[in-house]
Amino acid sequence: MILVTGATGQLGQRIVQRLAARLPHAGAGQIAVSVRDPARAAQLAARGIDVRQGNFDDIDTLATAFSGIDRLVLISTDGPKNVRIAQHRNAIEGAREAGVKHIFYTSFQDAAENSPSEFAQVHAATESVLATCGIAHTILRNGLYADFLPMTLAAALQTGVLRLPAGTGKVSFISRNELAEAIAAAALAPRLEKRLYELTGQTSHDFAEIVAKLGAATGKSLRYEAIGEDEYAQLLEQAQWPAWLARAMATMYTAASENRFARCSNDFAALIGHPPKSIDCLLAEFFRAP
């Protein structure tokens, strides 16, 4: 039995869909999910998926939620850094108590302790917990979601200027749908060649290139202006983002300015059998006219 955590979240629900598409009887009797609120997963239960309650803040729920599970797809949570690290630690401890045989962890392309990105630091800390947990595991380091480009570029489409603290750093964007496809393939593979997969886009681009491409596609005159980390965090706070998230986003773009999301790996193609979508294809997908 394979279990996906966070199955009422955006990535988790897509992974469950992809697992169901790959398994006989749409995965009925073979897929379980753990969610904080089972009422939100009623549609999954109706399709024969075993819905369990599990909250990473409450370690006592997890050994039960993960009991009888061979393969656990552990979706990283969101929230402030120390909260997330504690949640991931609880999930891994719950898996150990439940006797889970293999964990597939959705990490981050820039998982490094010395990264300026808080998100990266969370994932580096979790990967360290995994390294010593005694459970076989596969790390799936996700590139930046292309799905967030519309939100990132919304103001620029109004004002003509994209302001980010990303310098001239390049990013190899990939979509959630593609990540879900690759993660499901990895989780069902009878054997994997590697312990760590880096799931990135096909090519990497700086934000000046991205706005130029979007400008050409939309007929708008757009330009990119690199700003400082503090200025960007302040802009987000003024737009009512929580302070921790504003800072975490700003530090993520600082990491981008250091080209920490620029690598393009062949791991997606190795798992799926074809390359990920090009940036032009992703821009067409996410900025399609309504």
Taking contact as CB under 6 A, which single stretch among the options 3-11, 92-100, 154-162, 208-216 is the one that binds ligand NAP?
Answer: 3-11
Between CA 56 and CA 177 the distance in angstroms is: 25
Between CA 166 and CA 160 the distance in angstroms is: 17
Between CA 166 and CA 252 the distance in angstroms is: 8
Q: Residue 221 Cβ, how far from ligand NAP at the closest point, in Å?
A: 28
Q: Residue 122 Cβ, how far from ligand NAP at the closest point, in Å?
A: 8
Indicate whether 8 belongs to the interface with ligand NAP (CB under 6 A): yes
Residues 254-273 that bind ligand NAP (CB under 6 A): none
Indicate whether 146 belongs to the interface with ligand NAP (CB under 6 A): no
Number of residues interacting with ligand NAP: please give it, by CB under 6 A.
23
Q: Residue 83 Cβ, how far from ligand NAP at the closest point, in Å?
A: 8
Residue 108 CA neighbour count, 13 Å, CB half = 26
Of 37, 132, 190, 239, the one binding ligand NAP by CB under 6 A: 37
Indicate whether 56 belongs to the interface with ligand NAP (CB under 6 A): yes
Asked if 91 and 122 count as a contact pair (C-beta separation under 8 A), the reply is no
Indicate whether 251 belongs to the interface with ligand NAP (CB under 6 A): no
* Range 160-179 burial, b when 16+ CB lie within 10 A, else e: eebbbbbbebbbbbbbbbbb
Of 2, 3, 4, 6, the one binding ligand NAP by CB under 6 A: 6
Asked if 7 and 35 count as a contact pair (C-beta separation under 8 A), the reply is yes
Q: Residue 143 Cβ, how far from ligand NAP at the closest point, in Å?
A: 6
69 three-class SS: coil
Question: One symbol per residue from 57 to 96: x for binding ligand NAP (CB under 6 A), - otherwise; what is it?
Answer: x-----------------xxxx--------x---------
Strands (E), 212-289: 223-226
Residues 106-135 that bind ligand NAP (CB under 6 A): 106, 108
Indicate whether 27 belongs to the interface with ligand NAP (CB under 6 A): no
For the sheet with 136-142, list strands across it.
50-53, 31-35, 2-5, 71-74, 102-108, 136-142, 196-199
Question: Which residues sit at the interface with ligand NAP, rule CB under 6 A?
Answer: 5-6, 8-12, 35-37, 55-57, 75-78, 87, 106, 108, 142, 144-145
